[in-house]
Amino acid sequence: MIEFHLETRSGVPTYLQIVQQVRQAVRLGVLRPGDQLPTVKDVVGTLTVNPNTVLKAYRDLDREGLVEGRRGVGTFVAEDVAPLPPGDVQDLRSGLEGWIARARGAGLDDDTMAALFMDTLRPPAIRSVA
């Protein structure tokens, strides 16, 4: 089971924050096929949010096939979602950790690292000239 958190000043709508957190949890294998999402009532209780917002997020996730709502039971991660193999994720993460250590050693702060990573991720054509 995961617990959601809210960044209220991010400008990202609440329902979208919930959607993104579920997507991220599934991608990183924190949530696996068949896992149950928190009930609407639980989310309302922990985050003090409007139940319609949670329903909207779960409906969106259902529509994109990531989760399945089962009437009267709850919302579950779809069985046919293929998560990343946990070993691979761990492997890639430790590779990144090594990179971060090197970058920090070179004097880069967190923002600069994030900017460099995002810039490298983009297609070469629109990459800024280093």
Footprint on this chain of another protein (rule: CB under 8 A): 6, 8-15, 40-41, 44-45, 47-53
**55 vs 108, beta carbon nearer another protein:** 55
**22 vs 40, beta carbon nearer another protein:** 40
**50 vs 90, beta carbon nearer another protein:** 50
**8 vs 128, beta carbon nearer another protein:** 8
Count of residues in the chain: 130
Minimum Å distance from CB 121 to another protein? 21
Minimum Å distance from CB 9 to another protein? 6
Minimum Å distance from CB 4 to another protein? 12
